[in-house]
Structure 1
Amino acid sequence: MSARDWIDKDFYRELGVSSDAGDAEVKKAYRKLARELHPDANPGNTDAEARFKAVSEAYGVLGDPEKRKQYDEARSLFGSSGFRPGGFGSGGNFDFGDVFGGQSGQPGFGAGGGGFSDLLGNLFGRGRAGATAAGSRPKRGADVETEVRIDFLEAVKGATVPLRLSSPSTCDTCHGSGARPGSIPKACETCGGAGLVSRSQGAFAFSEPCRDCRGTGRLIDDPCVDCGGEGVSTKIRTLTVRIPAGVEDEQRIRLAGQGEPGRHGAAAGDLYVRVHVTPHSVFGRSGIDLTLKVPVTYPELALGTTLTVPTLDAPVSLRVAPGTASGRVLRVRGKGVAKRDGQTGDLLVTLAVTVPPALDDAAKSALEAYVAASGDHDPRPDLTAMVQKARES
């Protein structure tokens, strides 16, 4: 993509966020749009696919702190509406020679001191002298993030899931050159390969991006038919992702080298897969421990019993001692989550007394007989004493 194309596009508008939106807000907006516009959710919808590519392109810039900084600075320099021939931003003329050519002699300008020259060299990958050198340096590809949903058992045991991605990739046909195989780009004769042209106005010299090569410094007479001369194409690719045992909800898994391709021979970025885990209907989870709530009757707690409780493997027997209180948590060791580092959690069983919604005559008579036999036993002596003490004070 050329410099003009990048700056002319409003990536904030594509994601529906303001220019001062925080990283979390940008990421949230991207995820929402990506889910709505993903090709899997809109089969055959070319408009949705185009919007999905535009949203992915916008997040590729705004989701990378360094790219976003360069994008914001460039828009601030050139105006949010892009380049204007002979002008700068919304005001009058500006000496582009100072910015690109180092003619001002001031520290921080031109090829000698970084500043604007380094910014534009990094941003556009072109320019004269130092800017051209900076733009040709290898640059690591951007990281990419996507999401996948798995069920509870897959998160505990581990799973292998297919993942479809739509992301920028180096064009397989031209291998990134932008030219049809068998041909090569040539230096732009108008700007001499610098990407900039100069003109004079009185005592001042002005520079602006070359219109013939769109500031790239090169011309492609025979562009690649697959990428249109960009050297990068958006592809839908399928990866097989191994989800490790014990992964937790919202955890990110890193796949090295599966992000956007690098520039000028640099390494590709990484792919981060954010995992969403669907809750289980019976089991819960606390770290590497599994949790389970088991209903019991009052006689089972009062007299003691042996319960059969499920685990993720096979049922186990659990001894409940006489006089166990409701809400007591019993531990079944080694029946939790087993992780790759050798740690294994436990199954935590919470006992909860259930009250029958209705009693027949026999059960009611038996319960009343129990109440009479238990005498004046007060199950809340501490609570009664606390209330009495509060009244006296």
Structure 2
Amino acid sequence: MMKQFLYIGFIAILLGSCKQNRDQTLVETPETKSDISFDYATGLTVQNTETGIYVTVKKPWPDATKDYTYKLITASSQKRELIPEPDAGTIIQVPVKRIIATSTTHLAPLDLLGVEKSLVGFPETDYISNSTIRNLIETGNIQDVGINERLDVESVILTQPDVVIGYGVEGENPTYNNIQKAGIPVLFSGAWVEKHPLGRAEWIKLYGLLFGKQKQADSIFNKIKNDYLQAKELVIDLPKPTVIAGATWKDVWYLPYGDSWQGLILADAGCNYIYENTSGKGSLAYNIEQVLKDAQKADYWIAPGSYTTYSNMLADNQAYGQFKAFQQKKLYTFALKRGSTGGFIYYEEASMRPDLVLKDIIYLTHDRDLLKDYQPYFFSTLLP
């Protein structure tokens, strides 16, 4: 064990000698000093100042107690000088060329910006669905670097990333601290905490900064935003069908809160979600008797867990057959759309493409002439 730690330490020192000292800050003089605005995302701010671009990620998991600050520096800047900035936060040199992501939700921005080849490491690569990234995995260009949040520090160091995109669930992960001690910056993404559907998508602006593609990121987000708002407008004055969501897991039915990302999309799709007046963190958890009482007559059933067939649902719980939506075959699932290794495309792409989620639900729960020639991207009719 001691040899392993000494080996990791040696690698860290070796790599650190090849990189610019991250304890000193290059002060940049940007051509423009306007801050980047966020219309929907509440979890980050970007300030473009005399001394550089500062990114603050605000409490990136539900019970986080602090914010995280990052400073982006450009090595090619012609106007720079070394000034000690002890409170500058973590330094990240941009544009990023090599990146490690830790959640499949981090991959959609790379795909949209066309920088998939920058990905050099990912934990448990079997969950990745994107075909371009799968090809990079199969050709050995992307390394498996551990399991979820328990990254293998040695593997991370050997891939020589410019930054690791991390996330937290229940507190700081000591693995990330060890990675940063090796001189590799860790940037926490709090996109998944955002409740507004467009708020999560707006985090692509941060990736635009990291990869030197700010204008492209702005353009992509504006297109997603406009498509979302135009689709929402289609159903504002229409009758609202009632909708239920989720399914049971170990005798507990988990459903999204009304003020959650999923709940807000259902509302914007012109649906009357049975639990639309609820609010909170995580998921609602009821027994099936309670849901049957509340939602037996719901018109539609969206996202019944990972189920793909009516027969499997009945085999697991005969009570499902008592719901009107089940009887009338009005269940729609994302579980039929998977990558070549079984990962759900919805989990990977939906947070960055709320416009497509919204259009899918509108198409499936309203008059289909509203979106003529549209083909649902994520959702499909449940199979027999």
TM-score normalized with structure 2 length = 0.18
Which of structures 1 and 2 has the larger relative contact order (alpha carbons within 8 angstroms, sep 6+)?
2
| Higher alpha-carbon Rg | 1
Determine which structure has the larger helix proportion and give its number: 2
TM-score normalized with structure 1 length = 0.18
